[in-house]
Structure 1
Amino acid sequence: MMQRRTVAFSKDSSNLFFHILTKCNLRCKHCYINRDEHGRETLDIGTIKAWLALFLDRAPDTNLIFLGGEPTLHPDLAPAVRAARQMGFSSITIDTNGYLFHDILEKITPEDVDFISFSLDGATPATNDAIRGKGCYDACIAGVKRAVAKGFSTSMIYTVSGANIHELHLMPAMVKDLGIDRFFIQVVGIRGESAGANNDLQVTRERWLETVPLVAEQIAETGITVTWPKVFLNPGEVFECAGIVADNYFVFPNGRVYRCPLCEDYPVHGLEIRDNQLIPTTTLNETAFFKLTIPEGCVMNKLVQPGNITYGPDGRPEQKIACCMLKQEIVPD
């Protein structure tokens, strides 16, 4: 029997999403990086270690994810990973597009990282490469095979949008064949690159619910743990904001530290790193939005991606939008 659950917010654990640079070799249509807001710096290894140390007291309960841009473009990713391991972070993940620059698989071992996570946004080259760029599909698949052959635990992220949801049903067989250990379904965020696009990237509630849970079940039946965002609350479910009840940090090279990923297109970060110290910002910031209660659920969702919300004849929302950090998960026995 498979274990199905909602992954509840918990103060007993935290997630540190650490963007060590914003440079990338790709220009994905739905990339959330906004260099005007996140910076163009590539952090040096000394700064990376100093910033990691700011979270040292929570390290045993913190899942650390190295991100970019493309983190393997950083020449010192390997020593950064080893430093994080020595600091005792609960888990360490590298998020990559699959190109695996600087021979990263030759410089770290499966004992250094818990997961190497690959991003693939289509079951075919035609769909994936239309979103991520020509040749990305083949590079990602080759990268996965190399990592699996070397004994690394691997995960895959598929960001569902109107451009690729039609191929999601093809993924169960593919990830099983590749030897993927975990599969993450994400929902496209209307921020960064996609904020300037038309809203046909967004998926309706009906299509999401008729597609995603079914495919998640099929992937779990192959023996792979699958996680996906709840997105839409059921009637009677209470909205909770991770900015209040959870412990997540989104760190960018310019020193901004957000608690909510939907806020990242704006200078409303609740924390910042200045002179290697983590300090609260004193101007109006994202934390002011976390406590607001609206019929739609998430205030930031209402502000930045209102296409997710539909309204009835009385003008009231037909459903509440869940916090994007609230996940559903199926764990095979």
Structure 2
Amino acid sequence: MISEVTGIRRIRMLYLQLLYRCNFECLHCFHGQRLQHADAFTADEAINLLALMRDQYGTEAVTLLGGEPFVYRDLTQVVQYAKRDLGLRVEICTNGYRIERRLTEIAPDLDLLRVSLEGIGSTNDHIRKFGSYRSALSALEIAQRLGVRAGATMTVTSRNIEEVLPLARVLQGYGVEQLKLHCLRPVGNAAAHPELLITDPAAYTRLRGRLDAADLEIEVIVDEDLSEGGASDACLPDGGPVEIERIEADPRGALTMSCKAVGKDSHAFWYDKLADHIDHRPSPTDELTLAVPDVVYARV
């Protein structure tokens, strides 16, 4: 259905939100009140969607997230099927809180563990949860010991922009290969915390300058919206791309192609879990009608 409507024939990666439930209530979380919702994929539904995406759209990788994917009961089953049966590259994005036992279970089938951090020590813990910084570093230590490649993500806010470079240096010491920096989008919990927004776009230019001069070993990938001019407006025009980088499935089955549309209920496509089929459900506010731009990333 996606190819018929948009002309897109290949989608490289599926971001699969397995469930809304989480053991954190981060100040910037785009899910907001949905963290309290019970919607989730069953293991069979998740496996069916993975197989559909591989067979119909040539999907070669999956990032499992939530909520918190490590509280998902059938995580091991989904990871093993994605890797062993479908041959997908498997990543997990996690808060890294007390995941040691389950990480050890899935390590042989995991290509990348990506841990979310929002700064160093108390800066991170204020946004996420008390004790979460030390727990995340412990998870990275275990990943290193298990031979699992590790990355990290950080949402840049007014509270932590000065700690991007110090955090990158800390992560290098834990064998982390890559730090991905996101722009804060005022949806979900972040809508209730406008103090986290950066009001001086020149702060992004200063940040990029510090990163360029730092000569880091870790690769830093930066959302182009973290710049004074913002990212270019590129999305899904008529006659647009035949291949895109990603699509995200939320726990209800809503599918979103633009990171900037995630959390805004602007999806044009749904995965019907019972029928194992993707439906086009257009609306006046969907991402295709509004031509919501995708997120562009650059390597520093």
TM-score category (smaller protein): 0.7 to 0.9
Runs (4+) of structure 1 moved beyond 3 Å?
10-13, 34-39, 58-62, 232-235, 242-245, 264-267
Residue 259 of structure 1 corresponds to 257
Code of the aligned partner of 2:268: G
Match of residue 115, structure 1, among 95, 112, 117:
112
Does 2:300 match 1:327? no
Instruction: Provide the C-alpha distance between the structure 2 equivalents of 1:224 and 1:325, rounded to a whole number of angstroms.
Output: 21
Instruction: Provide the C-alpha distance between the structure 1 equivalents of 2:100 and 2:176, rounded to a whole number of angstroms.
Output: 23
Does 2:134 match 1:138? yes
Instruction: Decide whether aligned partners of structure 1 residues 257 and 63 sit closer, same or farther in structure 2, where only a CA change above 3 A counts.
Output: same
Match of residue 186, structure 1, among 182, 185, 188:
182
Instruction: Provide the C-alpha distance between the structure 2 equivalents of 1:67 and 1:121, rounded to a whole number of angstroms.
Output: 17
Instruction: Provide the C-alpha distance between the structure 2 equivalents of 1:119 and 1:37, rounded to a whole number of angstroms.
Output: 17
1:1-333 aligned within 5 A: 14-36=12-34, 40-57=38-55, 61-85=59-83, 86-89=85-88, 91-101=89-99, 103-110=101-108, 112-123=109-120, 125-215=121-211, 218=214, 221-231=215-225, 239-241=233-235, 245=241, 246-274=244-272, 275=274, 276-284=276-284, 285-290=286-291, 323=293, 325-330=295-300
Instruction: Decide whether aligned partners of structure 1 residues 148 and 213 sit closer, same or farther in structure 2, where only a CA change above 3 A counts.
Output: farther
Instruction: Decide whether aligned partners of structure 1 residues 102 and 156 sit closer, same or farther in structure 2, where only a CA change above 3 A counts.
Output: closer
Instruction: Decide whether aligned partners of structure 1 residues 253 and 239 sit closer, same or farther in structure 2, where only a CA change above 3 A counts.
Output: closer
Instruction: Decide whether aligned partners of structure 1 residues 40 and 102 sit closer, same or farther in structure 2, where only a CA change above 3 A counts.
Output: farther
- Give the SS at the match of 1:109: helix
Code of the aligned partner of 2:134: D
Instruction: Provide the C-alpha distance between the structure 1 equivalents of 2:251 and 2:111, rounded to a whole number of angstroms.
Output: 23
Instruction: Decide whether aligned partners of structure 1 residues 80 and 165 sit closer, same or farther in structure 2, where only a CA change above 3 A counts.
Output: same
Count of equivalent residues: 284
Contact 1:93 1:117 in 2 (8 A): yes
Contact 1:94 1:115 in 2 (8 A): yes
| Per-residue CA distance 1:229-257 (angstroms, 9 max, x = gap) | 1116788x963226854352110111111
Code of the aligned partner of 1:43: F
Instruction: Decide whether aligned partners of structure 1 residues 272 and 145 sit closer, same or farther in structure 2, where only a CA change above 3 A counts.
Output: same
Instruction: Provide the C-alpha distance between the structure 2 equivalents of 1:52 and 1:116, rounded to a whole number of angstroms.
Output: 19
Instruction: Provide the C-alpha distance between the structure 2 equivalents of 1:166 and 1:229, rounded to a whole number of angstroms.
Output: 17
Code of the aligned partner of 2:17: H
What is the percentage of aligned positions where both structures have the same residue? 21
Instruction: Decide whether aligned partners of structure 1 residues 133 and 238 sit closer, same or farther in structure 2, where only a CA change above 3 A counts.
Output: closer
| Per-residue CA distance 1:244-298 (angstroms, 9 max, x = gap) | 54352110111111122333344331100122211111433221011xxxxxxxx
Structure 1 gap ranges (5+): 1-9, 291-299, 301-322
Code of the aligned partner of 1:115: L
Please, what TM-score do these two structures have when normalized by structure 1? 0.77
Instruction: Provide the C-alpha distance between the structure 2 equivalents of 1:57 and 1:158, rounded to a whole number of angstroms.
Output: 33
Please, what TM-score do these two structures have when normalized by structure 2? 0.85
Instruction: Provide the C-alpha distance between the structure 1 equivalents of 2:13 and 2:212, rounded to a whole number of angstroms.
Output: 23
Instruction: Provide the C-alpha distance between the structure 2 equivalents of 1:129 and 1:78, rounded to a whole number of angstroms.
Output: 28
Code of the aligned partner of 1:228: V
- Give the SS at the match of 2:27: coil
Code of the aligned partner of 1:94: I
- CA shift, 1:194, in A, is 0.2
Contact 1:242 1:260 in 2 (8 A): no
